[in-house]
């Protein structure tokens, strides 16, 4: 798992305009990288991390589920080799981050859908 870019932190100023500008910047970076990966590997699979918050999951899925509720997933070569992009934040004061994860840990759809 790697942080590709991050906003400022929000310890000093969590005003709506500052946060929205940071979100827009990180989202633009995610969209740009998604386009590049999609051109190479095809459309991503939207993957819902929310149901995995409470269930044990292999790394890096466990850590990713603590940072975000959704990620874009590209399976590569075999179903258990994958690359993912997501936007996450540890808590309201921490930076908003664009993260990439690459793994060969099995990743399965959650057992139950989001309520």
In a domain, 110, yes or no: no
In a domain, 66, yes or no: yes
Domain count, the chain: 1
**What's the domain range around 63?**
2-103
In a domain, 77, yes or no: yes
In a domain, 97, yes or no: yes
* The predicted structure's pLDDT at residue 109: 62
As a three-state string, the secondary structure of the chain is CEEEEECCCCCCCCCHHHHHHHHHHHHHHHHHHHHHHHHHHCCCEEEECHHHCCCCCCCCHHHHHHHCCEEEEEEECEEEEEEEEEEECCCCCCCCEEEEEEECCCCCCCCCCCC
In a domain, 75, yes or no: yes
In a domain, 94, yes or no: yes
Written as tens digits, the pLDDT of the chain (115 aa) is: 999 999 999 999 989 999 999 999 999 999 999 999 999 999 999 998 876 656 677 788 888 888 888 999 998 777 788 999 999 999 999 999 999 999 887 776 655 555 4
């Amino acid at each position: 798992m790697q942080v590709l870019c991050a906003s400022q932190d929000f310890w000093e100023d969590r005003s709506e305009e500052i946060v929205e500008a940071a979100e827009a910047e990180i989202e633009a970076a995610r969209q740009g990288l998604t386009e590049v990966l999609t051109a190479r590997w095809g459309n991503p699979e939207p993957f819902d991390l929310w149901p995995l918050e409470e269930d044990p999951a292999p790394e890096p899925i466990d850590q990713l589920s603590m940072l975000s509720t959704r990620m874009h997933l590209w399976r590569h070569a075999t179903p258990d080799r994958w690359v993912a992009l997501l936007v996450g934040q540890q808590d309201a004061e921490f930076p908003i981050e664009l993260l990439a994860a690459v793994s060969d840990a099995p990743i399965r759809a959650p057992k139950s859908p989001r309520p």
